[in-house]
């Protein structure tokens, strides 16, 4: 739990930086990672908030990561709040950096 809290803090700081510099695809990547941490914390509504942001941005930019984010969105949407976690997508928590 403590490691997830540290990760969440770091990702949220990164999100602010990406927003400040106008890095929309980087913002989407970070929002995706925040969604994964929120899943691990069993916070479905927070996870949905961030993954929806990622999906919207990736769709708008035609990002190849769009399909992966939609898959995570569908998993989160089906998430059983009584379960401890859901499996992270293949490749682990950190999503690849988008090519700008």
Give the C-alpha separation, 50 to 94, whole Å: 15
Encode the chain (100 residues) as per-residue pLDDT tens digits. 778 889 999 999 999 999 999 999 999 999 999 999 999 999 999 999 999 999 999 999 999 999 999 999 999 999 876 544 444 444 444 444 444 3
pTM of the model: 0.78
Residue 20 and residue 90 in contact, taking contact as beta carbons nearer than 8 Å: no
Domains of the chain: 2-77 (1.25.40)
Tell me the CB-side half-sphere exposure of residue 37, using CA atoms within 13 A: 21
């Amino acid at each position: 739990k403590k490691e997830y809290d540290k990760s969440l803090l770091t990702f949220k700081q990164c999100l602010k930086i990406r927003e400040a510099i106008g890095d929309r695809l980087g913002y989407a990547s970070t929002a995706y990672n925040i969604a994964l941490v929120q899943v691990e914390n069993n916070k479905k509504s927070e996870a949905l908030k961030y993954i929806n942001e990622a999906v919207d941005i990736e769709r708008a930019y035609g990002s190849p990561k769009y399909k992966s984010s939609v898959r995570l969105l569908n998993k989160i949407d089906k998430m059983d709040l009584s379960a401890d976690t859901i499996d992270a997508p293949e490749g682990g928590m950190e999503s690849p950096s988008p090519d700008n």
